[in-house]
A = this chain, B = another copy of it.
């Protein structure tokens, strides 16, 4: 086995562990999750799991980090698109109009994990990191829009802080209340916001 294959195998194993974690989280939620339940979703040697992770929370913090990496890869912003279009596409990926059942189950577990952050430094760090990633991505799009003369001379970081707060609130409201038409209203209000607060008047 050469070095490349070794890395591939390690990457493949990590991806398989992360997939098993996703499936177990969806099925059992955070509170009832155990390493054994993750192992039950895992095709390869179970001992690998116990070897790599001391606790379920160790594994879940890595899972959140892996999820953030994947998200960052997937949302690669199209630099050719107009800045307001880039912003809408990015916000759509965070606050979709509706959620498929498996994504809904995952969001439920995500909010449960987030509620543990005040009690756990690794979770706290991880959610700080994911919030910062989203905020910085939004700020970059806004900054680029200002440079291109499409957006007004606003404070990019301030507007980005507001938008990341909206995406967080939307995710929480969606899974914890009967939000009904509320999510569609939030999206319309965000579109109005981009138009009236960011875009240079025609």
Q: Which residues of B contact A190 (CB under 8 A)?
A: 162
Judge whether A67 is part of the interface by a CB distance below 8 angstroms: no
A178 within 8 A of B: yes
Q: Is A16 an interface residue (CB 8 A)?
A: no
Q: Which residues of B contact A158 (CB under 8 A)?
A: 185, 188-189, 192
Residues of A138-155 contacting chain B, CB below 8 A: 155
Identify the stretch in A45-53, A70-78, A164-172 within 8 Å (CB) of chain B at 4 or more residues: A164-172
CB-based contact B157/A185 at 8 Å = yes
Residue with the greatest number of chain B CB neighbours at <10 A, chosen from A115, A155, A186: A115
CB-defined contacts of A176 to chain B, threshold 8 Å:
114-115, 117-118, 123-124, 127
Given A166-B169, A176-B124, A196-B197, A29:B119 Cβ within 8 A: yes
Interface residues on A, range: 35 or more
A5 at the B interface (CB under 8 A): no
A186 lies within 8 A of B169 (CB): no
**Stoichiometry (number of copies):** 2
Residues of B within 8 A of A188 (CB): 155, 158
Where chain A touches its partner, the secondary structure class is helix
Q: Are A115 and B115 in contact (CB under 8 A)?
A: yes
Q: Judge whether B168 and A182 touch: CB under 8 Å.
A: no
- A33 adjacent to chain B (CB < 8 Å): no
A159 within 8 A of B: yes
A29 (CB) vs chain B CBs: closest residue:
B119
In the complex, the answer to whether A186 meets B172 with C-beta atoms within 8 Å is no
Taking CB as reference atom, which chain B residue is nearest A125?
A: B178
Between A and B, 16 residue pairs with Cβ closer than 8 Å are: A29-B119, A108-B118, A111-B115, A112-B115, A115-B115, A117-B175, A128-B178, A162-B186, A162-B189, A164-B169, A165-B169, A165-B170, A165-B182, A166-B166, A167-B169, A169-B170
6 shortest A-B CB distances, which residue pairs? A169-B169, A162-B189, A168-B169, A115-B115, A117-B176, A165-B169
